[in-house]
Amino acid sequence: AQTVTQSQPEMSVQEAETVTLSCTYDTSESDYYLFWYKQPPSRQMILVIRQEAYKQQNATENRFSVNFQKAAKSFSLKISDSQLGDAAMYFCAYKNSGGSNYKLTFGKGTLLTVNP
């Protein structure tokens, strides 16, 4: 079974600085999807960024980018120019692609604090 590990239960960053959240995963599959989800204090979770394993180029969404290292099974999230609104719990998630596997596996989350 696939597992997702987020080794940093909590992180903090100064406003306008850059922070990187770590995620590693374990799989024997070659094709899959990776995600970062954000859960603000209001609780509703939203998708931040998505990466397809067959794509070598790292995904980017505005101030959010990933460092995808397939051989190392690592998928870190970099937040540039951190803003107060970035404070949230961040979850890394994995999903096999194709076939009949419809399940996402989530890590335990990293709580990010943004200091003014």
Partner 1 sequence: NAGVTQTPKFQVLKTGQSMTLQCAQDMNHEYMSWYRQDPGMGLRLIHYSVGAGITDQGEVPNGYNVSRSTTEDFPLRLLSAAPSQTSVYFCASSRQAYTGELFFGEGSRLTVL
The residues of the shown chain that bind partner 1, judged by CB under 8 A, are 4, 33, 35, 37, 42-47, 50, 91, 93, 95, 97-98, 102-104, 106-109
Q: Between residues 11 and 104, which has the closer beta carbon with respect to partner 1?
A: 104
Report the C-alpha gap between 74 and 53 in whole angstroms. Answer: 11
Report the C-alpha gap between 91 and 106 in whole angstroms. Answer: 7
For the four alpha carbons of 20, 110, 104 and 28, in that order, the dihedral sign comes to positive
Least distance to partner 1, CB of residue 99, Å: 8
Contact 57, 64 (CB under 8 A): no
Least distance to partner 1, CB of residue 66, Å: 15
Least distance to partner 1, CB of residue 44, Å: 5
Q: Between residues 103 and 116, which has the closer beta carbon with respect to partner 1?
A: 103
Longest CA–CA span in the chain (Å) reads: 46
